[in-house]
Chain A
Amino acid sequence: MNALGRHRKLTAIWASEPGFKGWFSTVNHTDLGRMFLATAFFFFFIGGLLAMLIRAQLATPHSAFAGPDIYNQIFTMHGTIMMFLFAIPTFEGLAVYLLPKMLGTRDLAFPRLTAYGFWCYAFGGSMMLVSMVFGIAPDGGWFMYPPLSGAIHSPGINTDFWLIGITFVEISAIAAAVEITVSILKYRAPGMSLDKMPIFAWYALITALMILTGFPPLILGSILLEVERAFGFPFFQAELGGDSLLWQHLFWLFGHPEVYIIFLPAAGVISTVLPVMCRTPLLGYGWIVAAALALAFLSFGLWVHHMFTTGIPHMGLAFFSAASTLVAVPTGMQIFAWIGTMWKGRPELHLPMLHLLGFFFTFVIGGLTGVMVAVVPFDWQAHDTAFITAHLHYVLFGGFVFPIFAGIYYWMPHFTGRKRFFYLGEFAFALVFIGFHVTFLAMHWVGLLGQRRRISTYAPEDGWTAINLISSVGSFVLAIGIAMILIDVFLHALTASRGRRNPWRAGTLEWAMITPAPAYNFASLPHVTDRNPLTIEPDLAVQLAKGEGYLGTPRNTWRETLTVEVASGKPDMHVIYPANTRLPILMSAVTGIFFLSLLLKFYWTVPVAVVGVAILAWKWVWSIGRQDDMDTVPVGQDIHLPNFAMTDRPPGWWGSVFLLTANATLFGSLLFGFAFLWTVAPGWPPPDWFPPSVSALALGIIGAGLGPIAMRYATQKNRNGGTPLASLALTLAGAVLVAVACAAMMVHTPAPTRHAYAATLFVLGSYGLFHAALGILMVCFLIARVRCGFTSSARRAEFPIVRLWIDYLSVVSVLILVVAHLPGLMG
């Protein structure tokens, strides 16, 4: 087979349906990456328009442009859109598009999950837009502090749009994070050990792990606040044992890592693009990875610096102040490593490099003002003033938008296979750079002059008029610059002439293919021996197209790839991906019905949607796997690999591990919340305590013990060629016992609307019950699979996955039951 024949055959296997219909059924990461990016930039445009409205409103004193009720919606939506609907999805889109190409494989770990995540994002984002069109958008600030956001002070549906819409969108963040983590750890070209990974993959891995541990506290907070609003559970009401500070802790436990979740991918872009622009390898690869890891760890220890004015004892603040300033150290290490790289090489002033210089100038200022506000006494003055607005825009625009523009211009030839011929981009950069600093530099000063954030107007005698007018003028220059960049990108895609392959002479694998990228990425997979494979082998693309790598011969209609051992990069599994399907969009639509029912309080459709999701999930998982054993598969270079259905650690197991990581973080946050309320909230002790019961506790613990033991026995039985059905039935019985114990706990909990104690216990019980139901469903699924011949002693991959969930159920259910029963039994 020659290269062209191989290309045609692989394209037939991997291509999406032609035309726009293909968007709804594609599971291809190249398509979905583009769709993520296009949607994210659409939201960037909307968020930018809102920013213009804010600046129009503040340009002059006593402005009558928008009243406070509309203005509050505008700034709330500006922040919300930029954070949740632009920044995070842009990272997801870039990672989804680039990672398999950089890692030398053909797709991400779970192609259908990519699509599901995208549609959840698109639908959830649309919900937010609809609320804006009807003038019922969230208006409590993007931080949604109760009691202001509670049912008493915000009775309208506005706040519900935020809580429910954002939670819906966050499904896509969690899905993408699981996807990215597993893909980076397992789906790489043979030979690519962890220390040979492109630096962007390290950043994406760290960011994805941060999403898995950073987003759950916010998801939990949103659930609790929505339950408070809808059903009156007083989690955040001080007079009923709740505490509004609990929300602030949960929100910032997410909100601060979020800043680094946004910055780190951009830093990954810088670490990738800057060395290419300087014609030299990156200085201190290992140091940079260590710095990014340190940044990730530290960022979880400084959320309280958003709460310096809440009256927390000063010594407590001192700890968080230290952590907040310390985070500047790994950031500084990266900055100086980049400048050192520039000193080492010969920087060339291409357009991406201009944006990187814009990054340095802007982000360093943002970092320095960040250190200032980390100093507690100064924050007492600066907090909630325009100084913070200016600071955060320096950090986010400098630390995200400039690097992303650099990345867009850098990878634009890859997206389109064309080159720019026009200097529009350089001119646009100048406008953006000047416009940004004119808008935000003087804003620091007006903050020190006492201008608060989020005010809709001010008086001439406040003395802020000149600065605000300058800001507004600057913001329009900035907007014109950004519009020009969007036009430039658009023109580029439509008109420019075809460019050559690898125009920047980069070393990473994404350039070892024709552009625009084919659906299958690589006709055969490379063997990687260096961090910059194209630098040592400039002809790699041709060799791969000729089928000289792994999996160079298309088989059947299989979308094939292989996985590697995490650390060494040694091949270990053969993978067949699912093909195009409308299941993801259907499932996210049904998920959307679930959220919409909650929003509109059509509670009778909620269970319908839940059952719908369960049925679709069943169908989803059922469609993979085989009913016959399969020999090891030759993948080329004399290597034979087992198919993933015949292993103990299939991709689904890896996915479950990281999904459960996020889940455990959510559960941990819930326990933290319970302990926080118990020890810190005013309004305790509660009027009634939970009536403990030795028998209910014992029942649950027996069930929790039975499940994992029986599941292990089932796994072993299957492995030895016996029938595991009896043991699976016992596992099922264990899960049912746990469900009964959790249900009994919910029934016996005192009225949850009367005190936060009972409300939290009720939520804990429902968490246990939900996971017991999930465990029951999974064991039933496995029983059905066994009965239909999808398992054998060789085809054993589904057992470890179910075992993982059953183990998790046991751990959380014992904790839940002990937390409920033990205090009463002991006291």
Chain B
Amino acid sequence: MLSTVDPAGPAAQTIATLWWVMLAGASLIFALVMVLLVLAFRRKNAGDDAGRVRAWIVGLGLVFPMTVLAALLAYGLIVGERLLPREGPDIVKVGAEGRLSAWTFTYEDAPSFSTDGTLHIPAGRPVDVAVTTADVIHSFWVPRLAGKLDAIPGRTNILRIEADEAGTYTGVSAEFSGTGYDSFTFYVIAHDAANWDAFLNGDFE
């Protein structure tokens, strides 16, 4: 329902892949460190300190993490760039205003009305959500579609989401906002093309 590892859109899919790659890498490194730790308890022959400093501190401590981290950083940067809201055809623009404790959604394609607690989007099309707040800081998060973005007073932040298929996705506000925080949830309904047109014309229940 709120699982980041059960992605239903391209952004969440990309990040889930990133997670699995990092988990695999981290497991290998952890195993390596633990093996080295255990091997410290076996009998061993003497060596010289200069050689040890080279092997342990320069080799394992400096060169090894630098290499791994440079690769990871590049990967993360490329992924991050890809998830940014860029101009393009076919982009749907909506607004999400958080307020204790509900979200109100507006639609550029249907300026005459707004919806409370449920955001309607077309499936299979990129949607840019303009995230704002009327009071304290909130965060707009639909885990199965994309990462989260904060609603900061006085600012508008744009988040790109997209649902691969029609359906209902749960979202939550992910910035602590006091006593109503537990139940500060909302829904995103992704429509197929026909239903989306119907929604914009105001005949969707």
Contact = CB atoms under 8 A, between A and B. Distances in A.
B113 interface: no
B154 A683 contact: yes
A153 B15 CA distance: 35
B57 A336 contact: yes
A380 B147 contact: yes
Contacts of B1: 450, 461-463
Contact of A309 (B143, B149, B181): B149
Nearest to A455: B182
Given A336-B56, A339-B36, A380-B146, A450 B153 contact: no
A148 B30 contact: no
A301 to B, nearest CB: 15
A378 B19 contact: yes
B175 A384 contact: yes
B91 interface: no
Contact of A245 (B62, B69, B152, B177): B152
Contacts of B12: 381
Nearest to B34: A361
Contacts of A72: 178-179
Interface string A521-560: 0000000000000000000000000000000000000000
Contacts, number: 237
A794 interface: no
Given A287-B57, A333-B57, A342 B149 contact: no
B12 to A, nearest CB: 8
Interface string B124-150: 000000010001110100010011111
Given A377-B79, A384-B139, A311 B155 contact: yes
A335 B61 contact: yes
Contacts of A339: 33, 36-37, 40, 56
A452 B2 CA distance: 10
B69 A326 contact: yes
A585 B69 CA distance: 50
Nearest to B136: A148
Contact of A321 (B44, B52, B73, B176): B73
B198 interface: no
Interface centre among A140, A343, A368, A451 (most CB of B within 10 A): A343
B153 A380 contact: no
A147 B150 contact: no
B202 interface: no
Interface centre among A287, A291, A311 (most CB of B within 10 A): A311
Contacts of B53: 283-284, 287, 340
B76 interface: yes
B183 to A, nearest CB: 9
A759 B85 CA distance: 37
B156 to A, nearest CB: 8
Interface string A341-373: 011100100000000010011001100110110
B14 A450 contact: no
A357 B81 CA distance: 40
Nearest to A385: B174
Contacts of A681: 154
B61 to A, nearest CB: 3
B55 interface: yes
B83 interface: yes
A141 B181 CA distance: 12
Contacts of B181: 68, 452, 454-456
Given A69-B179, A329-B62, A381 B56 contact: no
Interface string A222-262: 00000000000000011100011100000000000000000
Contacts of A361: 34
Contacts of A336: 56-57, 60-61
Interface in B149-190: 149-150, 152-155, 157-158, 172, 174-182
Interface centre among A310, A328, A458 (most CB of B within 10 A): A310
A238 B154 contact: yes
Contact of B39 (A329, A343, A364): A343
A381 B61 contact: no
B2 A462 contact: yes
A68 B154 contact: no
A283 B174 contact: no
A619 interface: no
Interface string A327-338: 011001111110
Contacts of A337: 56-57, 61
B26 interface: yes
A573 B77 CA distance: 55
A818 to B, nearest CB: 29
Interface residues of B, number: 74
B4 A283 contact: no
B80 A318 contact: yes
A210 B11 CA distance: 39
B49 interface: yes
A244 B175 CA distance: 14
B57 A376 contact: no
Given A336-B60, A377-B83, A450-B172, A310 B69 contact: no
Interface centre among B53, B60, B80, B155 (most CB of A within 10 A): B80
A302 to B, nearest CB: 13
A393 B55 CA distance: 31
B204 interface: no
A802 to B, nearest CB: 45
Contact of B73 (A283, A291, A322, A463): A322
Contacts of A340: 52-53, 55-57
B69 A329 contact: yes
Given A284-B53, A336-B56, A450-B172, A321 B150 contact: no
B69 A333 contact: no
Interface string A100-143: 00000000000000000000000000000000000000011100
A436 to B, nearest CB: 16
A450 B62 contact: no
Contacts of B26: 368-369, 371-372
A683 B154 CA distance: 8
Nearest to A308: B147
Nearest to A330: B61
Interface in B98-143: 100, 131, 135-137, 139, 143
Nearest to B12: A381
A333 B146 contact: no
A147 B14 CA distance: 33
Given A321-B73, A342-B40, A244 B177 contact: no
A122 to B, nearest CB: 30
B72 A375 contact: yes
A283 B143 contact: no
Nearest to A383: B148
B37 A333 contact: no
Contacts of A343: 36, 39-40, 44, 52, 56
Interface of A: 68-69, 72, 139-141, 145, 147-148, 153-154, 237-239, 243-245, 283-284, 287, 291, 309-311, 314, 317-318, 321-322, 325-326, 328-329, 332-337, 339-340, 342-344, 347, 357, 360-361, 364-365, 368-369, 371-372, 375-385, 448-458, 461-463, 681-683
Interface of B: 1-5, 12, 14-15, 18-19, 22, 26, 29-30, 33-34, 36-37, 39-41, 44, 47, 49, 52-53, 55-57, 60-62, 64-66, 69, 72-73, 75-77, 79-81, 83-84, 100, 131, 135-137, 139, 143, 146-150, 152-155, 157-158, 172, 174-182
20 contacts: A72-B179, A147-B136, A148-B178, A244-B152, A314-B81, A336-B57, A337-B57, A337-B61, A344-B47, A360-B33, A364-B30, A365-B30, A375-B72, A380-B15, A380-B148, A381-B143, A382-B4, A383-B148, A453-B176, A456-B181
Given A335-B33, A384-B175, 17 more contacts: A244-B153, A283-B56, A309-B147, A314-B84, A317-B80, A332-B60, A332-B65, A340-B57, A342-B37, A357-B37, A365-B30, A369-B26, A371-B72, A448-B3, A452-B172, A461-B1, A463-B3
In the complex, the 7 A-B pairs of residues with the closest C-beta atoms, listed nearest first: A380-B147, A450-B2, A238-B154, A340-B56, A333-B61, A311-B157, A342-B40
